[in-house]
Amino acid sequence: MGLQSRSPQRPDDLVAEFEEAGPEQVAEAAGRARAAAGRWADASAVERASALQAAAEALAGAAGELTGLMVREVGKPVTEAGAEAARAVGIVRYYAQQALDPDGETYPGPSPAALLQSRRRPRGVAGLITPWNFPVAIPMWKAAPALAFGNAVLLKPSPEATGLALRLAELLGPALPDGLFQVLPGGADTGRAMLGQVDCLSFTGSVAVGRQVAVAATERGIPSQAEMGGLNASIVLPDADPERAAKVVAGAAMGYAGQKCTATSRVIVVGDPGPFTEALVASVQGLAVGDPASESTVVGPVITEPARDRVVEAAEEAAADGGRLLTGGKAGDGAGWFVAPTLVDGLSPDARLAQEEVFGPITVVLPVADEDEAVRVANGVRYGLVGSVFTRDLDRALRLAARLDTGMIRVNAPTSGVDYLAPFGGEKDSSFGPREQGKAAREFYTSTRTITILPAEG
């Protein structure tokens, strides 16, 4: 079946048109990937590292082009898109180095002459299913470690970001052996078909799909990891500078129209919410909304028409639930899936907006009396990706960090932002399986073999 991806700011701009990979194509690609994986696993670590270095250079050489395509295909503001392209290059360089790390450990054996060791070996063909919102960085933060540790990769990108995925395959092709990195365009059916062929499956996307993927992988007996949604809270303590905290929260809530799993969707204000809320409204109203190709734009369009409607409906429902619209709540005029950055207060922490991910530029302000209530509200959702705390008091920051049930905690920093050197992942419904990125990625893309060697005699 034919699929299309269109520019969210100019829906009449057709970016990519492609045939969905059917079961036969998927099986054929998996066969090529398996053959390539066998040869790649036999290659020396130095060979793998230099191929990845060449891949990183190919991406670096095309960073400007990838940035432009991100702006056009997924409506990412150009400044953020440029940073994402640079990050993808950094990620591939980083894992090129990790290919050279020790590949195992030795343990005390049964006698001094004996060797007891564990060694890492690749799983074979790694299947990747990715969303559209980080269309270059997410595929690369999965593919680079998979390749570095000796696997082949099949990437099933989001249909909304297929043009970018196909371009990535063209750019990486000359640096890597044939069949080692292949893209399978398509939607859910292609993803399911790929799941039936691979040796491990790494997913990023919504909770509903991530759960299905993890169940299907488990039924096949293959390892899976799933990075899913978030409903991230920033806690603002009374000693924080309201202006500064508001600026940071506004960017984390509304940057790229809130379409980040790490976006701030709840702000929990301890004590008098007045000064902070006022500063937040001013900061949000000061953000430049518009064409993502413009250097000054912070908030571009959302990805599709239904995504835009979801934000407007969430604002209407919040108002019907007794919430107060502090700013925004309306779709933009004209072409493109624009919606005004939206802030709501006056809702209970149990209201839908404070409980479920909308994945757009809408954030709820929740005043609380004290630190204990802040922790209860912050933890009172099914997600647990990232939390942040604004304070000048290190003791309070440490206390709160210890009590928040999220995979990542950031103090005086936006909830958004990823350090690829460190493990990335969440708690509760936000994540399943081992962490991604940093040194943690090896855990997923390799299995451990324990080897015992005794002297032949004696």
CA distances from 68 to 1, 10, 257 (A): 28, 14, 18
> Backbone phi, then psi, for 211, in 5-degree steps?
-60, -45
Q: Which is nearer to ligand NAD, 139 or 251 (CB)?
A: 139
Q: Is 67 in the site for ligand NAD (CB under 6 A)?
A: no
Question: According to CB under 6 A, which one of 152, 180, 213, 214 is a site residue for ligand NAD?
Answer: 213
Q: Is 407 in the site for ligand NAD (CB under 6 A)?
A: no
DSSP state of 235: E
Question: According to CB under 6 A, which one of 131, 185, 251, 336 is a site residue for ligand NAD?
Answer: 131
Q: How far is CA 352 from the centre of its chain?
A: 23
Q: Is 200 a catalytic site residue? A: no
Name the nearest CA neighbour of 137 among 66, 33, 224: 66
| Site stretch for ligand NAD (CB under 6 A), options 21-29, 127-135, 234-242, 343-351 | 127-135
Question: According to CB under 6 A, which one of 25, 50, 53, 206 is a site residue for ligand NAD?
Answer: 206
Q: Is 305 a catalytic site residue? A: no
Name the nearest CA neighbour of 377 among 350, 358, 359: 350
User: Bridge partners of 17?
Assistant: 4
Q: Is 384 in the site for ligand NAD (CB under 6 A)?
A: no
Name the nearest CA neighbour of 381 among 229, 183, 203: 229
Q: Is 201 in the site for ligand NAD (CB under 6 A)?
A: no
| Site stretch for ligand NAD (CB under 6 A), options 22-30, 45-53, 83-91, 227-235 | 227-235
User: Which residue in the list 160, 200, 261, 436 is annotated as catalytic?
Assistant: 261
Residues 133-192 touching ligand NAD, rule: CB under 6 A, are 133-134, 156-159, 187-188, 191-192
Distance CA 54, CA 415 (A): 33
Radius of gyration of the chain (CA): 23
**How crowded is residue 119: how many other Cβ atoms within 10 Å of its Cβ?**
15
> Backbone phi, then psi, for 20, in 5-degree steps?
-70, 135
> Backbone phi, then psi, for 425, in 5-degree steps?
165, 170
Question: Which residues 6+ apart lie within 8 Å of 79 measured at CB?
Answer: 295, 297
> Backbone phi, then psi, for 71, in 5-degree steps?
-60, -45
User: Which residue in the list 84, 227, 371, 436 is annotated as catalytic?
Assistant: 227
| Site stretch for ligand NAD (CB under 6 A), options 54-62, 97-105, 162-170, 202-210 | 202-210
Q: Is 70 in the site for ligand NAD (CB under 6 A)?
A: no
Question: According to CB under 6 A, which one of 229, 242, 329, 414 is a site residue for ligand NAD?
Answer: 229
Q: Is 227 in the site for ligand NAD (CB under 6 A)?
A: yes
Residues catalogued as catalytic? 227, 261
User: Binding residues for ligand NAD, per CB under 6 A?
Assistant: 129-134, 156-159, 187-188, 191-192, 204-206, 209, 212-213, 227-230, 261, 357, 359, 385
